[in-house]
Amino acid sequence: MNAPNRPELSQDTELPLMQVRGLTRYFGARPGCIDVSFDVFAGEVLAIVGESGSGKSTLLSLISAQLKPDQGAVHYQMRDGVNRNVLELNEAEQRLLMRTDWGFVHQDPAMGLRMGISAGANIGERLMAIGARHYGDIRSAAQSWLTCVEIEPDRIDDLPKAFSGGMRQRLQFARNLVTQPRLIFMDEPTGGLDVSVQARLLDLLRELAANLGLAVIIVTHDLGVARILSHRILVMRRGRVIEQGLTDQVLDDPQEPYTQLLVSSILQA
Amino acid sequence: MPGDFEKAMVRVENASKTFVMHLQGGTRLPAVAHARFTAVRGECLVLAGPSGIGKSSLLKMIYGNYRCDSGAIHVHHQGRYIDVAQASARMILRLRLETVGYVSQFLRVMPRVSAFDVVCASAKAQGMNDALARTETAELLDRLHLPKRLWNLPPATFSGGEQQRINIARGFISDHPVLLLDEPTASLDAANCAVVVELIAEKKRAGVAMIGVFHDHEMREKIADRVIDVSQFSAREENCG
């Protein structure tokens, strides 16, 4: 309870930014995701939690159009206000969405960054992909986003290889944010980082999401991360969403046996 | 305003709650049974009764932190009543932003955020401008005798009493028409308890409905307009009898 302050949420009358309906995907006989449905609204942080193998990363791949489902639909309100089934967009349309209105933050920054080009180029690349050509503009945008993610702007010409794990992750945020997306997918963004680095990253993430009014769908196995960042939570087990609701309600008053087990397994620091 | 004449801010109607502990073989722990009371504008209602009788659980049910198994909890919000027991997650978040504040015994904050910013953010969340929010934060922290050297530090390392004062400042700086107080003075000294008595009196004059749990008798006598004995709603009593 007493979650940190969050931005005002949109009104009930507003349409969800994303509507996921009946998403199902099997890998052979093994279920990845079974009949998953939920909504995400603008400015809302939704956490998907569960243990390894629960299907949360599969779900993230499905809703971000990186993996095709066997069944189901992902409706998204495009920037022009038109509601489209993401799975029915052609490849070029999907790519454009991924480069502009969506962001994807990977657990391993090496997957979300190009390690062989400078920090500035990593940020600028996404701008150039949507048509930016003016070198000075791109460089100053890169500089200002570096500052936003708390990286000294004079590191702009350094390679990500020279950055610490936490800095790389922040650079990944900047690379995603430069096109001013409305929805960001995150897969364990604080996994594998030292606790102190994690805390800084979480705080930055919370601020960015609130100040930019971003919708975030974050996959994490860490219930502490979910509590700090998210408004709502989905608990997954064996491919299904077994419980969902207001984050503090699910964590403080869990109804399902599995959720109770997850919550009771947290170590108290 | 359509709701101005309406004085009842919170109406708890036959609300019940039982915890089912699945990891303990499905043990049922009844917490609250058929609770029924109303809190009106400008009053401080104190929930009384022995420890473990469900006072905090009731506050958490009103805040939407605990689910309600049956019954209704109507909160007056923007001119109409919202039933917290049935409300969507998004509606509950909006209630918390605009209508229902909560001051608990424990502070849970982000690791890097300073005490000052914790309180200031609470004011700004409801739309107060930055300058005014900063002025009011400074005034309130001063009133609660929080040493200035602590203002810019994250409260994680503060003492229990210092953290509690941050909690109180955060809860009282915002402009919620309903305020839930879960033992906010549990670890405060007499001087700071006196400040809280004043703050509560100011909220009453502003028409805020408060529902609180206070173990300290002296404190209770100073602030309570009405006392509700929660043991009458206790399922445990029922089972024993």
Mutate to test the interface with B, among A232, A237, A246 (most CBs of B within 10 A): A246
Look at residue B2 and tell me whether its pLDDT is greater than 60: no
Most confident of A36-40, B1-5, B158-162, B213-217: A36-40
Q: Does the CB of A268 have a partner CB in chain B at under 8 Å?
A: no
CB-based contact B90 A44, cutoff 8 Å: yes
Region label for B34, one of left (φ > 0), alpha (ψ between -120 and 50) or beta (otherwise) = left
Q: Cα separation of A194 and A206, whole Å?
A: 18
**Partners of residue B107 in chain A, C-beta under 8 Å:** 2
Chain A residue closest in CA terms to B94: A9
The residue to which tokens 């979910």 are assigned:
A226
Q: Does the CB of A108 have a partner CB in chain B at under 8 Å?
A: no
Look at residue B237 and tell me whether its pLDDT is greater than 60: no
Percent of chain B exceeding pLDDT 90 equals: 81
pLDDT recorded at residue A269:
52
Residues 203-222 (A) with a CB less than 8 A from some CB of B: 203, 206
Do residues A62 and A69 touch, judged by C-beta distance below 8 A? Answer: yes
Q: Does the CB of A3 have a partner CB in chain B at under 8 Å?
A: yes
Predicted confidence (pLDDT) per residue in A185-239, tens digit: 999 998 878 877 888 888 888 888 888 889 999 999 999 899 989 999 999 999 9
Whole-model pTM: value is 0.90
ipTM: 0.90
Average confidence (pLDDT) over A135-159? 93
pLDDT recorded at residue B6:
54
Q: Does the CB of A195 have a partner CB in chain B at under 8 Å?
A: no
Mutate to test the interface with A, among B63, B78, B108 (most CBs of A within 10 A): B108
Chain B residue closest in CA terms to A205: B110
Nearest CA-CA distance, residue B103 and chain A, Å:
8
Q: For helices B130-143 and B160-173, what crossing angle results, to 10°?
A: 140
CB-based contact A202 B111, cutoff 8 Å: yes
- DSSP conformation letters of chain A: --PPP-PPPPPTTSPPSEEEEEEEEEETTEEEEEEEEEEE-TT-EEEEE--TTSSHHHHHHHHTTSS--SEEEEEEE-TTS-EEEGGGS-HHHHHHHHHTTEEEE-SSHHHHS-TTS-HHHHHHHHHHHTT---HHHHHHHHHHHHHHTT--GGGTTS-GGGS-HHHHHHHHHHHHHTT--SEEEEESTTTTS-HHHHHHHHHHHHHHHHHHT-EEEEEES-HHHHHHH-SEEEEEETTEEEEEEEHHHHHHS--SHHHHHHHHTPPP-
**Partners of residue A256 in chain B, C-beta under 8 Å:** 22
Q: Cα separation of B229 and B37, whole Å?
A: 10
Residue among B60, B88, B109 minimizing CB distance to A4: B109
Banded pLDDT at B240 (limits 50, 70, 90): very low
**Partners of residue B60 in chain A, C-beta under 8 Å:** 1, 252-253
**What are the residues whose beta carbons fall under 8 Å from the beta carbon of A84, sequence distance 6 or more?**
A75, A76, A78
Chain B residue closest in CA terms to A204: B112
Specify the range with the lowest mean pLDDT, choosing from A90-104, B19-33, B101-115: B101-115
pLDDT recorded at residue B35:
94
- CA-based nearest residue to A15, from A32, A49, A39: A39
Q: Does the CB of A243 have a partner CB in chain B at under 8 Å?
A: no
- CA-based nearest residue to A74, from A64, B153, B34, A253: A64
Residue among A228, A253, A260 minimizing CB distance to B65: A253
Chain B residue closest in CA terms to A251: B65
CB-based contact A41 B97, cutoff 8 Å: no
Residue among B23, B92, B121 minimizing CB distance to A257: B23
Predicted confidence (pLDDT) per residue in A57-106, tens digit: 999 999 999 999 999 999 999 998 899 999 999 999 999 999 999 999 99
pLDDT recorded at residue A13:
60
CB-based contact A1 B108, cutoff 8 Å: yes
pLDDT recorded at residue B235:
62
**Partners of residue B106 in chain A, C-beta under 8 Å:** 2
pLDDT recorded at residue A268:
61
Which stretches does DSSP call E strand in chain A? 18-27, 30-40, 45-49, 71-77, 83-85, 102-105, 183-187, 215-220, 232-237, 240-246
Residue among A9, A246, A256 minimizing CB distance to B64: A246
Average confidence (pLDDT) over A144-160? 94
pLDDT recorded at residue B1:
41
Predicted confidence (pLDDT) per residue in B120-163, tens digit: 999 999 899 999 999 999 999 999 999 999 999 999 889 989 99
State the DSSP H helix or E strand holding residue B179, giving kind and residue range, or none if neither. Answer: strand B178-182
Nearest CA-CA distance, residue A268 and chain B, Å:
13
Bridge-based pairing of strands B70-77 and B80-83 is antiparallel
Residue A111: half-sphere exposure toward Cβ, Cα within 13 Å: 9
Phi, psi of A83 (to 5 degrees): -90, 120
Nearest CA-CA distance, residue B109 and chain A, Å:
6
Chain A residue closest in CA terms to B17: A253
Look at residue A1 and tell me whether its pLDDT is greater than 50: no
* Chain A to chain B Cβ contacts (< 8 Å): 86
Do residues B76 and B12 touch, judged by C-beta distance below 8 A? Answer: no
Do residues A263 and A254 touch, judged by C-beta distance below 8 A? Answer: yes
CB-based contact A232 B104, cutoff 8 Å: no
Predicted confidence (pLDDT) per residue in B36-66, tens digit: 999 999 999 999 999 888 999 999 999 999 9
Predicted confidence (pLDDT) per residue in B164-201, tens digit: 999 999 999 999 999 999 999 988 999 999 999 999 99
Look at residue B118 and tell me whether its pLDDT is greater than 50: yes
pLDDT recorded at residue A173:
92
Nearest CA-CA distance, residue B199 and chain A, Å:
20
